[in-house]
Amino acid sequence: MQAMNAITGLILAGGRGSRMGGVDKGLQNFRGLPLAQQTLMRLQLQNRPLHGVLINANRNLSAYESLGAQVWPDSLSGYAGPLAGFLTGLERCETPLMLTVPCDTPLFPLDLAERLLHALLEQDADLAMAAAPEADGTVRLQPVFCLLKVTLLDSLAAFTQAGGRKIDAWTAQHPCAVVAFDQAGDSPQAFSNANTLQELQQLESL
């Protein structure tokens, strides 16, 4: 049963970092370590142990490799967004399931993998996605925090080859379990991300 539900983590660090002035976001420091390393450590501390972790990055590959994980650039050209990272990860993933997390949200829950897997199995879904409360109280999907069956590879390859780039347009084609991280004990800042250097400093002060 364990092997059937084995999960590989994928850190999405392949963006342009345009809102940070073009810097490589995953290599920016957060509490003394690069964001990508903080993210890697967070994955390694998950309540449900992962089989391994991959990093999707498109520049400074040796810096990412020095963190101790396999690094793969997008198989699609032109900084095609998170789905390009999903596709690259699914092509390389050697377990039945893959958990994606972005490199700019270093406080994500330590029970992320466990709760997404529970929902995926309970609802017999193809993927499970996190949702989190906003400041106004509405619960918003967090589509880059996603647990995917690797059997979705062909579907995603076809979608992206046809020019599709929007996560929600692709995920809408498949049974998806949504897990709201709005329970007692869930941190309201767990899914706070840093798009700018100012937001990164604000995150550090939490």
Q: Residue 15 has what pLDDT?
A: 85
d(CA 103, CA 101): 7
Query: Over the range 44-81, which residues count as b (16 or more CB within 10 Å of their CB) and which as e?
Result: eebebebbbbbbbbbeeeeebeebebebbbbbbeeebb
Q: Beta-carbon neighbour count of residue 168 at 10 Å?
A: 10
* Per-domain boundaries in the chain: 7-204
Q: What is the pTM of this model?
A: 0.96
Q: Average pLDDT per run of 10 along the chain, which is 206 residues long?
A: 87 85 91 96 97 97 97 89 96 98 97 98 98 89 98 98 95 98 94 89 87
Structure tokens at 52: 């391994």
DSSP 8-state class, residue 132: E
Q: Residue 2 has what pLDDT?
A: 61
Q: Which fold has domain 7-204?
A: Spore Coat Polysaccharide Biosynthesis Protein SpsA; Chain A (3.90.550)
Q: Residue 107 has what pLDDT?
A: 96
Q: Residue 78 has what pLDDT?
A: 82
